[in-house]
């Protein structure tokens, strides 16, 4: 698994001040993708245990963070490795709010509860699901790029056995 970017603090990829990790590799190849270089699984640098520990220490040492956002590429193409990173992070920080972006739909991710993708989904708080659709691009949307994408509250959706949309904590 490769890391193609890390922002220690951002307000663009989820609610509040968030650390953001970009994982290389995506096979969705959405037309109009804002970062097509990240489709390549070899793009960036190896996301070694040492690099992960450096980022984990950075996150653990920042009391202002609201959580972590995972983007790419698409982190679900490296689901087992990303899950292991989250486990290491939470062993250090305790429970942490995690947003994850994907071209998969929520329905695709929950289809097989034994899959690594389902395991990764369960470790997260909010999934921004669905491929970016250039014809549905809407810059007025909060935290997503096209109107087909949904912000889904994962724990609530799994408990209700139906999609529950994320509701903002902060009002603007």
Output the pLDDT for position 34: 84
Output the pLDDT for position 169: 87
Q: Which domains does the chain show, CATH number per domain?
A: 2-160 (3.20.20.70)
Per-residue pLDDT of the chain (172 residues; tens, 9 = 90+): 999 999 999 999 999 999 999 999 999 999 989 889 999 999 999 999 999 999 999 999 999 999 999 999 999 999 999 999 999 999 999 999 999 999 999 999 999 999 999 999 999 999 999 999 999 999 999 999 999 999 999 999 999 999 999 999 876 5
- As a whole number of angstroms, the distance between CA 54 and CA 15 comes to 23
Output the pLDDT for position 171: 65
Output the pLDDT for position 38: 94
Nearest to 156, CA basis, from 148, 165, 147: 165
pTM: 0.96
pLDDT digits (tens, 9 = 90+) for 27-44: 999 998 988 999 999 999
Query: And the tokens for 133?
Result: 């659709």
- As a whole number of angstroms, the distance between CA 168 and CA 25 comes to 29
């Amino acid at each position: 698994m490769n890391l193609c970017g890390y922002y220690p603090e951002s307000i663009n990829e989820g609610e509040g001040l968030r650390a953001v990790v970009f994982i290389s590799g995506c096979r969705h190849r959405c037309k109009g993708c804002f970062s097509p270089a990240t489709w390549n699984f070899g793009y960036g640098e190896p996301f070694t245990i040492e690099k992960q520990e450096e980022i984990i220490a950075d996150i653990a040492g920042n009391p202002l963070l609201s959580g972590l956002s995972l983007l790419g590429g698409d982190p679900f193409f490296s689901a087992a490795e990303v899950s292991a990173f989250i486990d290491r992070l939470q062993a250090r920080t305790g429970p942490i709010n995690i947003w994850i972006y994907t071209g998969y739909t929520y329905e695709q991710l929950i289809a097989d509860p034994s899959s690594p993708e389902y395991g990764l989904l369960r470790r997260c708080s909010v999934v921004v699901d669905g491929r970016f659709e250039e014809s549905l691009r809407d810059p007025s949307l909060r935290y997503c790029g096209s109107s087909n994408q949904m912000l889904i509250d994962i724990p609530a959706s799994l408990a209700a056995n139906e999609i529950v949309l994320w509701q903002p904590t902060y009002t603007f």
